A and B are shown apart, each in its own frame.
Chain A
């Protein structure tokens, strides 16, 4: 079982308390009605599918119930960092990872 650090509880807790919630930092278009079908498709469905460090959302659903963001290596399944929702996306160099 993965151990995940919740930035709101400030504790490292078992994966069974958490739920995965897709890729992070996907910004909803300010004015959806002006988008072309292709742009709307990209917003809804097209994801980076990273091999390696991946920015993603998690929710501590059976705990504080908060959404937060994480950087997880999709190859090793290791969490590099978790941070609160709304905080700036950290660059990979600051995590000691080559881009």
Chain B
């Protein structure tokens, strides 16, 4: 695991919004054309969703459709080698690019009744139209992020490691302002 600058977020159980850095997970980028999709889905044990923003889950694995031929896979770290091997096994039948990005990104969880309000300080999307269970690639204060909506008041943000200190500090500043009632 690479070292990275971490941010200590204040932990306040009663706050309207909480921010925390999440433990590492295995992350993969998958690019595959139409004719290889079914084979890849079988190999990974997931049906690849066809619509941008849709997420399919199987056990602890989640696969998000980022673009017409691009998916993002999250899984427990212990499954890293199994996922790479599953892709290699079907490569001859279904040519694709499956690239491990586990160390490229870190994730923050933003939870609480004011979670959407906190994200709105940096994200230009209309978060009211992002339904729970979906996820999208977007920007947060000009840094590219993948924003997962896990519930009405629960979001996750995946951000490149090099942008994480900036995004983390901005989220913490916003959290402090909301906590102070500003």
Question: Is there a chain A Cβ closer than 8 Å to B6's Cβ?
Answer: no
Q: Is the CB of A16 within 8 A of B139?
A: yes
Q: Which residues of B contact A1 (CB under 8 A)?
A: 124
A65's nearest neighbour on chain B, judged by CB, is B67
Q: Is B66 a contact partner of A64 (Cβ separation < 8 A)? A: yes
Whether A64 and B138, one on each chain, are in contact in the complex, defined by CB atoms closer than 8 angstroms, is: no
Query: Does A88 interact with chain B (Cβ within 8 Å)?
Result: no
A64 near B124: Cβ-Cβ < 8 Å: no
Neighbouring A residues of B129 by C-beta, 8 Å: 11
Given contact pairs A8-B67, A8-B68, A64 touches B137 in the complex (Cβ within 8 A): yes
Chain B 53-84 against A: per-residue CB contact (8 Å), 1 yes, 0 no?
A: 10000000000001110100000000000000
A64 to chain B, nearest CB (A): 4
Let me know if A63 and B68 touch, CB within 8 A. Answer: no
Find out whether the CB atom of B125 lies under 8 angstroms from the CB atom of A14. Answer: yes
Are A9 and B53 in touch, CB under 8 angstroms?
Answer: yes
List of A residues within 8 angstroms of B137 by Cβ:
62-65
CB–CB B70/A64 < 8 A: yes
A39 within 8 A of B: no
Instruction: For A10, list chain B residues within 8 Å (CB).
Output: 52
B106 interface residue, CB < 8 Å from A? no
* Partner-A contacts on B (CB < 8 A): 52-53, 66-68, 70, 124-125, 129, 136-139, 142, 144
A-B contact pairs, 30 of them (CB 8 A): A1-B124, A8-B52, A8-B68, A9-B53, A10-B52, A11-B53, A11-B129, A13-B125, A13-B138, A14-B124, A16-B124, A16-B139, A16-B142, A17-B124, A17-B125, A17-B139, A62-B137, A62-B139, A62-B144, A63-B67, A63-B137, A63-B138, A64-B66, A64-B67, A64-B68, A64-B137, A65-B66, A65-B67, A65-B70, A65-B137
